Chains A and B, each alone.
Chain A
Amino acid sequence: MITKHAISILVNNQPGVLQRVSGLFGRRGFNIDSITVGESEEPGLSRMIIVTSGDDRTLEQVQKQLYKLIDVIKVVDLSASPMVARELALIKVNAEPAQRPEILGIIETFRASVVDISPSTLIAQVVGDSEKIDAMVELLKPYGLRELTRTGVTAMTRGLSK
């Protein structure tokens, strides 16, 4: 059964490490839905969150192959335990003055915010899980999407579990 998984990968902050990891996914035929990278709690180490989809066997192979990379320190399948997964999106939408109140209503409902406004457009910033962002994008589409950019998912497990 194919399921989505968020994998957290702690890596050495070295030149080429992103290429090593993404290259591994590419050549082994593993799918990357999204990828985020940033500093971790430890100096010199970065954390990557990759959302991938596959069956259990593929997921096991993904983790084992990742561990073979010398620059990979730790691999955790976050989806195996309760976790928080969040994504940020910026949505530039057509917003003539007449339509603004409706659009602002949607933005408020999603607890999103307006980060830029021009005579005929505005940019909404929304944070949440991917489904919430999908839903908001759907609702804004009728007004005319000018531009959409999403960060991809970053995630961690809840509480003390690691």
Chain B
Amino acid sequence: MSAQSATVLSKEGFREKLLKPDLISGSEILLRSLLLEGVDCVFGYPGGAVLYIYDAMHGNEDFRHLLTRHEQGAIHAADGYARSTGKVGVCIATSGPGATNLVTGIATAYMDSVPLVVITGNVATTLIGTDAFQEADITGITMPITKHSYLVRNVEDLPRVIREAFHIASTGRKGPVLIDIPKDVSAQKTVFRYPETINIRGYNPTVNPNRLQVEKLLKAIEESERPVILAGGGVVYSGAHEELIEFVNKTQIPITTTLLGLGGFPSSHPLWMGMPGMHGTVTANRALQECDLLISIGARFDDRVTGKLDGFAPHAKIAHIDVDPAEIGKNVETDIPCVGDVKMVLSLANEKARPAKSAAWIGKIAESLKQYPLRYKDDDKELKPQFVIEMIHETTNGEAIITTDVGQHQMWAAQFYKFNHPRSLITSGGLGTMGFGFPSAIGAQMGNPGRLVVSINGDGGMQMCSQELAICAINNIPVKIVVINNQVLGMVRQWQELIYENRYSHIDLSGSPDFVKLAEAYGVKGLRATNKEEARRVWKEALETPGPVLIDFVVRKEENVFPMVMQGSTLDQMVLGDSE
């Protein structure tokens, strides 16, 4: 058989080959099972307890593994892959420090309901509990931040565990599932049998909505005069963006999308009010405070969205659509609960949806949108961070996949990049994980080889995972890495200025490396801009460069993100700052 005919083995033939009931090791079972689950790229880092697993990868042409330079890079990459593709992201690390280095990434995925299967090695079953070299109780450590976890003590259980892990991670409210595999289990052999069916008695997510509740919702809509939709990540995760557009058009309800909901509804739609919350738009925040009906769709009333909970949406009847029943009534008392998959709830609602009495309300909102657009004081001489984001938006026609780190640049990206497609903003919302922006872009690029991926970072977060420049260079992963460099921890500076009376404590990032040289040290092209003209020129050059590029945009320190709702204030108490 020629090499070519081997690679064009049909998908069915490939499956058949994988399913063969051979006597194989736990490690080979793992690789075959991952391939059977459709995994096309795994991010990881080897070590003592996973040596058998990495040995099984050696020479395995079917299995694609990307070696990161830190376990944290691996899991954020898997996360970016999952968020941008909708598929389950997979990463592998060794026991002990390898596993604990994944903890932040697991918590990040858990908070934002991202489907991951996290594989860790552990010391041999005979050594567990003895404080053996590189032993850590990773299932215990991660219990509060995983949807579920397994410690596999028998190799016979491994195929079932992997099958279940993928099912649990990717259904209902999605989330990370950890599989801890002791070294001896990865070495032991058994006859491979991949289970055809899944039977998990304690796991049966409610996806089908209750028709009665949906009818109640529709009736409330028809009676409402000032309705608002608050759409979150659940819209994106259930693939309900088209249903949402239909729902909004039919019901004529103005809509605001949370940070994780951005892209779940086109920002070009006239009824879109922007993002709500701490750095939300004036229009969205006021609408939430004034509405008589608030329909939350796949959003969870995070404190950054609601402001002071006591005075949140004081006049509104609350309807809440969510696949996780525990979210309903958790933070906000709910009048109309609709438990179910967002896409299914909206499809059902769309069958009979009729418009609200919202004409006057829509008029008022349109007026407000005109009066209070997001703006900033631009400067001809100085390079403003908001200008950089606007420039990136314009030059990419809003079609890029954007990943961000956490802080001011994240909020500016959310405000000034206008998202029109789901899965085009990859950002750590719930946990707010610095160091996420760059490695998640690597994962997003691996999952979307044909798309332009732009990673927007601050100069703080960029240094938390900059080591992954190596894998961009070596694998020619063409991410455009933007550093909004204000030489300071900007969001902390902003709070210290506005709330702690200019007492600037430990925010100065001078001593950071020259980011251009840092990129070059890894073999990645580096460019710098310190004014608008340079910014336009180097950004154009970056877009025209086929491989990875890091662009260091040097901006001033003092810029703040506005509007801002101070912690402990209600949403209508916004500080508009110097944008006016």
Contact = CB atoms under 8 A, between A and B. Distances in A.
Interface of A: 11-12, 15-16, 19-20, 23-24, 27, 57, 60-61, 64-65, 67-73
B189 interface: no
Given A15-B151, A64-B325, A68-B324, A23 B143 contact: yes
Interface in B146-168: 147-148, 151, 168
Nearest to A44: B201
A70 B329 contact: no
Nearest to A15: B151
B144 A27 contact: yes
Contact of B168 (A19, A67, A70): A70
B140 interface: yes
Of A11, A16, A60, A68, most buried by chain B (CB within 10 Å of CB) is A68
A136 to B, nearest CB: 39
* Interface of chain A, main secondary structure: helix
A61 B144 contact: no
B143 A20 contact: yes
B368 interface: no
Contacts of B151: 15-16
A61 B327 CA distance: 9
19 contacts: A12-B202, A16-B151, A19-B140, A19-B143, A20-B143, A23-B144, A24-B144, A57-B329, A60-B329, A61-B326, A61-B329, A64-B325, A64-B326, A65-B326, A67-B326, A68-B324, A69-B202, A70-B147, A71-B202
B466 interface: no
Contact of B325 (A11, A67, A70): A67
Given A12-B202, A16-B140, A70 B326 contact: no
A70 B203 contact: yes
Contacts of A65: 326
Contacts of B203: 70
A117 B324 CA distance: 56
A70 B330 contact: no
A73 B330 CA distance: 22
Contacts of B144: 23-24, 27
A64 B324 CA distance: 9
B200 interface: yes
B143 A68 contact: no
A45 to B, nearest CB: 9
Interface string B306-325: 00000000000000000011
Interface in B169-206: 200-203
* 7 tightest Cβ-Cβ pairs between the two chains A and B: A64-B326, A70-B148, A73-B202, A70-B203, A27-B144, A70-B202, A65-B326
